[in-house]
Structure 1
């Protein structure tokens, strides 16, 4: 087996642009919890499943995993500061943040490009991350919002052809 240099791994995979999400939930104490997540993907149409991969060292994911549901908030291009707030360790990430309760009770952040309300389906160990599978309960998008994109260590926006 070939040993892969972690720095080269990050550099090469950083050439793949990703969307930026904030996963939110109401923890076991009834408080909102959230974390920025770049590793999010759709998994299945039937049944509707999505996944995200939080780092095992995350201090926010242990709070989120105590919930029965979570909401994936796809950040809009103008929400870079919100992303940075949710990416930090500790502190009240919801201070000054407007949010709404989804049908499942998970927080849906105001102004996002899209949101996906989910029930936890499974959590599997995956190296230094967890693979979290969620069953979609409800979802919606704002067609007028462009997504926030992460690429080669920086944030940007996506413009479709013709924009």
Structure 2
């Protein structure tokens, strides 16, 4: 598998997302930062429409079965924790939440919260893209200027 494909796929994985893909591409694989930026951004956007369209249906299905209690309770706790800020600030809150490259923030969680709050699909896609660009920019610049800190 090519290094760029690994960066692309890793950026689409929940929890890891761009936070893992950008340092991998720049600091480990020594790829061109602008290419890593673009590939990780595109990879992180891959799951967004699916999350926005399917999250609520899958989540409701999971809640019906005892086997999924632990994970559905965890998801519900995370969403409820972040939803108040999103409801108050809507698009700006969603962009900011996605843009901050910290654990439990990012495109996956932001999209899930947007779906949970039933925010507009097109606006949520645009917010995810803007937040993803900001996050990829921050991470790319951090990897360029602080490579030992981010690797």
TM over 0.5: no
Greater per-residue helix proportion = 2
| More RCO (CA 8 Å, sep 6+) | 2
Greater per-residue strand proportion = 1
Q: Normalising by structure 1, report the TM-score.
A: 0.27
